């Protein structure tokens, strides 16, 4: 069963601390470095699915999608049929130009934008974590060469 992102992060933190302690306090041996390298590689592989899922969600909220949802909200406001979460009409009919301004401030659009920012930040964090893990993999290789 695939690990959750939280489990991967927790395992990474523990592995990183263990590796630092090992390289600081012990006589570094090739077999142990290979084991650490393998564990870091496994963690990096575990992140692959999470990276793909988060990227997919972020792409679903790209500029084109943002424009489309804002326009759908603006049209509903313009036609006087835009409702809040409770089902109440929020705006009276108005011009499409006014409706576009209102759409930008609507709760639904703000929620969409917040989700978009969340998935972008999550994607960036996962990529950064993969880069950090890759640095440890490279360090293991370099230390093994120098052993």
Q: What is the per-residue pLDDT across 105-138, written as a single tens digit (0 to 9) for each? A: 999 999 999 999 999 999 999 999 999 999 999 9
Q: Provide the pLDDT for residue 1.
A: 57
pLDDT by residue for the chain (147 residues), tens digit each?
A: 578 999 999 999 999 999 999 999 878 899 999 999 999 999 999 999 999 999 999 999 999 999 999 999 999 999 999 988 888 888 888 999 999 999 999 999 999 999 999 999 999 999 999 999 999 999 999 998 887
Distance between CA atoms of residues 72 and 144, nearest Å: 58
**Three-state secondary-structure class, residue 55:** helix
**Angle between helix 30-59 and 5-25 (nearest 10):** 150
Q: Provide the pLDDT for residue 134.
A: 97
Query: Which region holds residue 14: left if phi is over 0, alpha if psi is between -120 and 50, else beta?
Result: alpha
Q: Provide the pLDDT for residue 10.
A: 97
Residue with token string 């759908």: 72
Distance between CA atoms of residues 85 and 12, nearest Å: 41
Q: Provide the pLDDT for residue 88.
A: 86
pTM attached to this predicted model:
0.84
Q: Provide the pLDDT for residue 26.
A: 74
Nearest 5 degrees, angle CA 48-CA 49-CA 54?
A: 100
CB 137 within 8 A of CB 41: yes
Distance between CA atoms of residues 29 and 108, nearest Å: 57
């Amino acid at each position: 069963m695939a690990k959750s992102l939280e489990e991967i992060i927790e395992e990474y933190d523990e592995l990183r601390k263990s590796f630092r302690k090992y390289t600081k306090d012990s006589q570094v041996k090739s077999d142990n470095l290979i084991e650490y390298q393998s564990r870091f590689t496994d963690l990096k592989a575990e992140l692959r699915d999470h990276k793909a899922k988060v990227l997919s969600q972020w792409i679903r909220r790209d500029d084109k999608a943002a424009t489309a949802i804002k326009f759908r909200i603006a049209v509903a406001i313009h036609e006087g049929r835009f409702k809040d979460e409770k089902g109440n009409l929020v705006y009276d009919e108005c011009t499409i130009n006014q409706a576009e301004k209102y759409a930008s401030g609507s709760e639904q659009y703000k929620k969409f934008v917040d989700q978009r920012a969340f998935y972008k930040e999550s994607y960036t964090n996962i990529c950064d974590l993969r880069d950090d893990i890759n640095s440890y993999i490279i360090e293991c290789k370099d230390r093994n060469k120098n052993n």
